[in-house]
């Protein structure tokens, strides 16, 4: 089986993905909030000179939260394009997607506390 990895097709895919990110950050306040907290976490990582493993954990955690929020947004857009009338299954799907964002955000807070709390407490001593 051969694959068509034509450069114009890859460029179009990349342009579509970047357009999706632009839509996300232009329309979703929560996305901007998550990005803000991510930048704060990155700044703290630089300030405290966290380890390689801590950086990997931090980056994966940031990616997890932003990915969950982007997927949640995509599901909401798709559901709203289908119908704006109340539908119990669509409501449940939206609630489930929002729950996934909440879980990822809570675990990111726990991860941040595990990485940064000891360093902050040591600084305050």
Query: Topology of domain 34-124, per CATH?
Result: Helix Hairpins (1.10.287)
What pLDDT does residue 10 have?
76
- C-alpha 34: how far from chain center: 7
In this predicted structure, the answer to whether residue 122 has a pLDDT above a threshold of 70 is yes
pTM: 0.88
Instruction: Give percent of the chain with pLDDT exceeding 90.
Output: 88
Domain coordinates of the chain in residue numbers? 34-124
- Convert the pLDDT of each residue in 39-73 to its tens digit: 999 999 999 999 999 999 999 999 999 999 999 99
Question: Do residues 45 and 54 make contact, with C-beta atoms less than 8 angstroms apart?
Answer: yes
In this predicted structure, the answer to whether residue 109 has a pLDDT above a threshold of 90 is yes
Q: What are phi and psi of 32, to 5 degrees?
A: -65, -40
In this predicted structure, the answer to whether residue 8 has a pLDDT above a threshold of 80 is no
Question: Do residues 64 and 102 make contact, with C-beta atoms less than 8 angstroms apart?
Answer: no
């Amino acid at each position: 089986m051969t694959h068509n990895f034509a450069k114009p097709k890859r460029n179009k895919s990349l342009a579509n993905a970047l357009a999706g990110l632009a839509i996300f950050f232009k329309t979703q306040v929560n996305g901007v909030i998550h990005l803000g907290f991510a930048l704060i976490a990155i700044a703290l990582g630089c300030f405290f000179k966290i380890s390689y493993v801590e950086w990997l954990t931090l980056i994966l955690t940031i990616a997890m939260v932003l990915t969950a929020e982007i997927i949640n947004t995509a599901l909401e857009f798709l559901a709203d394009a289908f119908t704006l009338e109340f539908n119990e299954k669509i409501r449940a799907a939206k609630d489930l997607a929002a729950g996934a964002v909440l879980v990822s955000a809570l675990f990111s807070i726990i991860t941040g506390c595990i990485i940064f709390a000891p360093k902050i407490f040591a600084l305050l001593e």
